[in-house]
């Protein structure tokens, strides 16, 4: 068998395993996609697919639609957890690790334009992209892919060649053919766990505006990493100001965990709440450590 033939058979087997776990999410104003997160009826999709007062229904291939409960939504990451009255479902595994490198093969499965369980293939085009969010904020740390995505794909899985979910499809640019974006599975993993537990994500407040960026060679050498989070603005009277954070600071780590994107900082704040947050910072080429006392968590939009 040729290498291309072997690849084709491997992809066929991957899709055969994964596709039954992909669902359609429907309400009167539109439809999207989702996938099984746990055998007892928990599903993952986009917040913009699940938002609204209208009843939700989930359609599995070859089955009647099931009513779906909104367990929780997080607009900041465009993720939502639903639950349907079913058991014994086959979940897809989330790859709770750093995203794949550009050039890695990925497969998108969803219901674009209402066509059930459509499959497209492409590569990871870039990492750590940022897009404007519907609530006026920004979706940070996104994967960019050239796998074909159309309206209705939102909330469906982006799979690695090993069959793990590496991203959750969130958006496509209608004026830029071949550009689509997905929330990394690393983000989806912790957000979904918090939504199942609490119904919302409440983030302790620091009072900064920041963005992730690739480091210049000198900073990368000093910090022994390739990315950090640049502080753009510090709110007066905030925990960040009280802790000594300044505009222009480069955040490298929080409580010992690397900070490559804003999501990394939020993950630490939410999952390891503590009275004090230790930030490793690069300021004017010199490393230093700051101690902050985050403010009370604010209700998610």
Q: In which band, very low, low, confident or very high, does the pLDDT at 301 lie, cut at 50, 70 and 90?
A: very low
pLDDT in tens, 157-204: 999 999 999 999 998 776 667 789 999 999 999 999 999 999 999 999
The pair of structure tokens assigned to 23 is 């669902």
Of the listed 78, 258, 263, 264, which one is catalytic?
78
Is 257 part of the annotated catalytic residue set?
no
Do 110 and 119 meet the contact criterion of CB atoms below 8 Å apart? Answer: no
Domains of the chain: 3-83 (2.40.10.10), 105-189 (2.40.10.10), 203-298 (2.30.42.10)
Total Cβ atoms within 10 A of residue 153: 29
pLDDT in tens, 52-90: 888 999 998 878 899 999 999 999 999 999 999 999 999
pLDDT for residue 12 is more than 80: yes
Three-state DSSP at 276 gives coil
Do 20 and 90 meet the contact criterion of CB atoms below 8 Å apart? Answer: yes
Is 284 part of the annotated catalytic residue set?
no
Q: In which band, very low, low, confident or very high, does the pLDDT at 243 lie, cut at 50, 70 and 90?
A: very high
Is 78 part of the annotated catalytic residue set?
yes
Of the listed 154, 189, 258, 264, which one is catalytic?
154
pLDDT in tens, 208-235: 999 998 888 887 887 788 899 999 999 9
Q: Which helix or strand (DSSP H or E) is residue 124 part of?
A: strand 118-132
The answer for residues whose C-beta is within 8 angstroms of residue 193's C-beta and 6 or more apart is none
Q: In which band, very low, low, confident or very high, does the pLDDT at 245 lie, cut at 50, 70 and 90?
A: very high
Of the listed 21, 31, 33, 48, which one is catalytic?
48
Percent of the chain with pLDDT over 90: 66
With vertex at residue 42, the alpha carbon angle to CA 39 and CA 46, rounded to the nearest 5 degrees, is 140
Q: Which range among 68-77, 119-128, 212-221, 241-250 shows the weakest confidence by mean pLDDT?
A: 212-221
The answer for residues whose C-beta is within 8 angstroms of residue 49's C-beta and 6 or more apart is 25, 30, 31, 32, 33, 34, 80, 154, 155
Task: Compute the mean pLDDT over every residue in the chain, rounded to the nearest whole number.
Answer: 90
């Amino acid at each position: 068998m040729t290498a291309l033939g072997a690849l084709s058979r491997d992809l066929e087997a991957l899709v055969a395993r994964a596709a039954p776990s992909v669902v359609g999410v429907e309400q009167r104003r539109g439809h999207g996609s989702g996938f099984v997160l746990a055998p007892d009826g928990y599903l993952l999709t986009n917040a913009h697919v699940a938002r609204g007062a209208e009843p939700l229904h989930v359609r599995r291939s070859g089955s009647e639609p099931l009513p779906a409960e909104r367990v929780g939504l997080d607009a900041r990451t465009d993720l939502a957890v639903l639950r349907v009255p079913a058991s014994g479902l086959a979940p897809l595994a989330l790859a709770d690790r750093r995203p794949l490198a550009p050039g890695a093969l990925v497969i998108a499965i969803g219901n674009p334009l209402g066509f059930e369980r459509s499959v497209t293939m492409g590569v990871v085009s870039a990492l750590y992209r940022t897009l404007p969010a519907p609530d006026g904020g920004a979706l940070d740390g996104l994967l960019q892919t050239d796998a074909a995505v159309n309206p209705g794909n939102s909330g469906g899985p982006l799979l690695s060649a090993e069959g793990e979910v590496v991203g959750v499809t969130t958006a496509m640019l209608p004026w830029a053919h071949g550009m689509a974006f997905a929330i990394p599975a690393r983000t989806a993993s912790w957000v979904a766990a918090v939504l199942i537990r609490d119904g919302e994500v409440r983030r302790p407040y620091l009072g900064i505006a920041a963005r992730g960026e690739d480091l210049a060679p000198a900073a990368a050498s000093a910090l022994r990493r390739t990315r950090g989070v640049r502080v753009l603005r510090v709110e007066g009277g905030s925990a960040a100001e009280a802790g000594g954070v300044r505009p222009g600071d480069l955040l490298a780590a929080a409580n010992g965990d690397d900070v490559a994107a804003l999501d990394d900082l939020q993950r630490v704040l939410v999952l390891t709440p503590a009275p004090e947050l230790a930030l490793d910072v690069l300021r004017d080429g010199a490393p230093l450590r700051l101690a902050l006392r985050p403010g009370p968590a604010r209700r998610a939009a």
